[in-house]
Copies of this chain bind each other. A is one copy, B any other.
Amino acid sequence: MNLRQDVHTAGIPVLCQACEARHRGVCGALDSDQLVALAKASSKQTIEPGAELVGDMETVDHYSNVLAGVVKLTKTLSDGRQQIVGLQFAPDFLGRPFKTESAVNAEAATNVSLCSFPKAAIERMMKQSPELENRLLRQTLKELDEARDWMLTLGRKTASEKVASFLLLIANHIDPTLDEGEEKVTFDLPLTRADIADFLGLTIETVSRQFTKLRADGVISIENNRHVTVARRERLEARAGR
């Protein structure tokens, strides 16, 4: 985590080396001239939980890479009902090419650090570099796959399956290296109960009750409301539905 910050604060135009290392950032697609140009235009910023990054219907003038933390993408009905339609983890790209207005609200769920570029700079480079466009296409396809997976969860799973699915999703994102295998996993929840409810299409009370049930059944334990230990991942997977 500190490594990433160093890359940026050092002021050297190796911008987004960290993103590249994780194989999904957009900057690795550029040649060194382009990188220098982009480095000049880019800026790193740190954001507090709850801060709004991009307002719904707002004109967007920059794109960003998530360097650390979790960003939630939400949609809201006029009466206040809210749904989280996506979670962006490092090193995801943030922004909607080819549209000036965002259809979603982007908000920091945890402390977030971002590297952002003016919209115009990225769009200029997209025209020059097909490789950059290719990366954006891959990331977009990945997000589409994730969105469709989640539609199955939202439309057809029960509350307890939803909560189990959510925990697995977080577990897999926090440390993708131990994806398979590893029976026991530990992580901090990046979302509050209210956020989790908005992600799952449930109420906070239902989420809380499901956590209680999982605790009672010895599947997980929770300390300080955030720090989760999954005792037996296989049992969570069984509950998540296949």
B147 near A77 (CB under 8 angstroms)?
Answer: no
Stretch at the interface among A32-40, A110-118, A129-137, A224-232: A129-137
Count of this chain's copies in the oligomeric assembly:
2
Do A156 and B82 touch across chains, with their CB atoms under 8 A apart? yes
Residue in chain B with minimal CB distance to A144 = B144
The residue in A73, A78, A151 that gathers the most chain B C-beta atoms within 10 A of its C-beta is: A151
Residue numbers in B under 8 Å from A73 (CB-CB): 148
**Chain B residues near A241 (CB-CB < 8 A):** 77-79
A175-223 with Cβ < 8 A to chain B: 200-201
- Give Cα A130 to B143, complex, Å: 21
| Distance between A171 CB and nearest chain B CB, rounded to angstroms | 20
Q: Which residues of B contact A148 (CB under 8 A)?
A: 73, 75, 85-86, 103-104, 147
Residue of B77, B81, B133 near A134 (CB, 8 A) is B133
A140 within 8 A of B: yes
The interface centre, meaning the residue of A140, A144, A145 with most chain B CB atoms within 10 A of its CB, is A144
Q: When chains A and B are docked, how far (Å) is the Cα of A226 from the Cα of B224?
A: 55
Return chain B residues, CB-CB under 8 Å to A151: 75, 83, 85, 147, 150-151, 154
